[in-house]
Amino acid sequence: MWPVASRPEQSLHGNNKEPQQVAEAQEALRRCMWEDVGIVRSDAQLANAACRIRRLQQAADPMLSADTPSRSGLELRNLLEVAALIVRSASRRQESRGLHFNQDHPDTLTEAGPTVLGPRR
């Protein structure tokens, strides 16, 4: 389902394969954020990251739909949600600011705009 597992994960509930699935998903998410949402990025990389995160969220849904989701499953859900928010915020910034450089928007605006995200509609 995911690339190579990096470490075992502890679970309070869930099936026997879940700890490995969670560890593999966390590693895939870490790799996604490193490769596509690093300090130097582009609009295409951010779009690719958003797609990769959505696929990971869909793959994690069965673990979270259990009557009693595991602690590691809930942690994975939170990591995926935060990653999606980071990518959404970075995608909306149409400039390079501070350490974050977007190859498609190399200039810095004279005044920084807000990066607060509102609810999706």
Q: What is the CATH number of the domain that holds 26?
A: 1.20.58.100
74 inside domain: yes
Taking the complete model, does pTM exceed 0.85, yes or no?
Answer: no
115 inside domain: no
Kindly state the tokens that stand for 118.
């509102």
**Residue-by-residue pLDDT tens, the chain, 121 positions:** 444 333 334 334 445 678 899 999 999 999 999 999 998 999 999 999 999 999 999 999 888 877 777 889 999 999 999 999 999 988 888 878 777 778 888 877 777 777 677 776 5
Can you give the residue range of the structural domain that contains 55?
18-102
Kindly state the tokens that stand for 15.
């099936």
42 inside domain: yes
86 inside domain: yes
Query: What spatial distance separates the first Cα and last Cα of the chain, rounded to whole Å?
Result: 31
Q: How many domains does the chain have?
A: 1
CA 70 – CA 13 distance, rounded (Å) = 5
Strand partners of residue 100: 97
Kindly state the tokens that stand for 91.
């995608």
35 inside domain: yes
